[in-house]
Structure 1
């Protein structure tokens, strides 16, 4: 028996927004309509699924969104969908609406929800979308490149004022329990120290490096801290108390989630969104659309959940060497 033809698919964005989600939704809608499918947008993630917040998505619904940050479908956390009863209600909402396949843009929590719908009988495909870049089994997550660019722009500007005032600046970046943004931005921004949760560190070592720099005539320094490693304010306080250096702290916060997606994120989102539709049409379910070594692949959710993305040891070592 061949794969059952699919006529209508849904698309939703869940969890934290990521630059490039709109480009991905656009790709889903246009790829699906190209193949004669009907597309339904589910607003506010799984909360909207339970509420039946569905909107038809014709071609014009995704015009002029490829360059926009955030998500046109909105997003929300939904504790109710974590329950078995909530998942069955969500499944029934999809069945009642005639939606046979679902594309979910999000991260680990979003994919666990998609896996439950898959187990109940809905074809589900996940698309890795999180600035944290902590979804493994793929080359990159949508939104990470843009978030790093935003962090670098801030670091460059802060370095200008750090130089002018001969100060030490501590810059805290996002990433939850992952240090990918901090490592990439710190390396690209020439930070003197980068603190990430995956690599043990001692603040006395950070202080010693700062003091060595001052001894050879260095006038300013930048310390990049991942939010999962330490609080920037506490690091700044420790440095000032143990050195007497004029120290300032900047917490970049949610500015890293916003803004127009980079070309890299737009292309990645477009490829993965279109590929997710192809997978649905082929009957694939319970899997993530991803790139591995640049090639499009479908990775079963079970494999995704077992995988772990660690910062490359080579990059950690390089950041340490170049900051002497």
Structure 2
């Protein structure tokens, strides 16, 4: 019966862009078209929805996009969508354009928007798209794998010159509230120190003492991965150099971590999730978030997903510290 209700699916990307979003869009479009549905793309996320930037999408519109970073639908943040008036207006626009089901690709903030639209009667499915890996209901988010590899390659290059000059290098990666990117980069790059916003043991005096001790053990250079939530990398570098006498430089990787062609993992996982989103809508399921846990693709009620809390796996953090001798 749900198959008769869902005739047109809308898709949008919201919040920060993440590599692999285009693979998810492509999968939504082609899966829906293959099942006899119409697809409407919404440009610039919720902002574009409120401004009625809505276009029809064909299979050819998503050709040659799976390898591209960013999002072909563009993205934006939207304060108006935080208001009841904006939410009601967005739901009315979905109805106006005959959008029976809406696939939202983004992070927690995007899911909150989808949740509100569901309250106004819009059938919604959320796909986790964020390089931060900070969505509690899933072990994987679209874009994280690419971002880790992009940052890892950059840090490898910094390590080369840091080793040559016998420096201490502080590399700041993205992660205002979540340190997964910093943690994975720290382990993958063999960093001596990883600074995470979730950990409350940040002690600059201890870092300085550790650097001095490591030099006594024969270490010639020192790598610190700093999540942006800790911040102040430039001044931290000045203080470390002053206290240790070791030349110290800070590098902020910035938005390069969001860009680049997605990895095979991001392309495949995003494609599967995009296809599943369409299937869920046709099964009559709504107000759901697609996730990946324990080797399986699963879906959660969006309210349940938003209520979950996600912390850093302590065993990974302990391993990182253990290997930094």
TM category (shorter chain) comes to over 0.9
Seen in structure 2, the aligned counterparts of structure 1 residues 198 and 2 have a Cα distance that, compared at 3 Å, is closer
8 Å CA contact retained: 1:10, 1:41: yes
Query: When the two structures are superposed, what TM-score results if normalisation uses the length of structure 1?
Result: 0.98
Structure 2 partner of 1:135: 135
Q: Report the CA distance between 1:283 and its aligned residue.
A: 1.2
Seen in structure 2, the aligned counterparts of structure 1 residues 195 and 118 have a Cα distance that, compared at 3 Å, is same
8 Å CA contact retained: 2:176, 2:197: no
Unaligned runs of 5+ in 1: none
Give CA deviations for 1:109-132 in whole Å, capped at 9, x if unaligned: 100000011111110000000001
Mapped pair 1:97 → 2:87: no
8 Å CA contact retained: 1:82, 1:113: yes
Structure 1 partner of 2:248: 247
Distance 1:185 1:84 in 2: 40
User: What aligned pairs does 1:192-271 form with structure 2 within 5 A after superposition?
Assistant: 192-199=192-199, 200-271=201-272
For the aligned residue pairs, the C-alpha RMSD in angstroms reads: 1.1
Q: Report the CA distance between 1:4 and its aligned residue.
A: 4.7
User: What aligned pairs does 1:49-198 form with structure 2 within 5 A after superposition?
Assistant: 49-198=49-198
Give CA deviations for 1:247-286 in whole Å, capped at 9, x if unaligned: 0000000000000011111111001100000011111111
Structure 1 partner of 2:304: 303
Structure 2 partner of 1:35: 35
Q: Report the CA distance between 1:293 and its aligned residue.
A: 1.2
Seen in structure 2, the aligned counterparts of structure 1 residues 126 and 2 have a Cα distance that, compared at 3 Å, is closer
Structure 2 partner of 1:293: 294
Moved more, 238-247 or 248-257: 238-247
Structure 1 partner of 2:280: 279
Structure 1 partner of 2:45: 45
Distance 1:195 1:109 in 2: 25
8 Å CA contact retained: 1:134, 1:308: no
Query: When the two structures are superposed, what TM-score results if normalisation uses the length of structure 2?
Result: 0.97
Give CA deviations for 1:174-217 in whole Å, capped at 9, x if unaligned: 01210000000011101010000111221122112111111122
Give CA deviations for 1:3-60 in whole Å, capped at 9, x if unaligned: 7531000000000000000000000001101111100000000010011101110000
8 Å CA contact retained: 1:177, 1:229: no
8 Å CA contact retained: 1:172, 1:231: no
Distance 2:283 2:7 in 1: 12
User: What aligned pairs does 1:302-321 form with structure 2 within 5 A after superposition?
Assistant: 302-321=303-322
Question: Match of 1:154, SS?
Answer: helix
Q: Report the CA distance between 1:298 and its aligned residue.
A: 1.3
Moved more, 232-241 or 84-93: 232-241
Distance 1:318 1:134 in 2: 20
Q: Report the CA distance between 1:2 and its aligned residue.
A: 6.3
Distance 1:111 1:80 in 2: 15
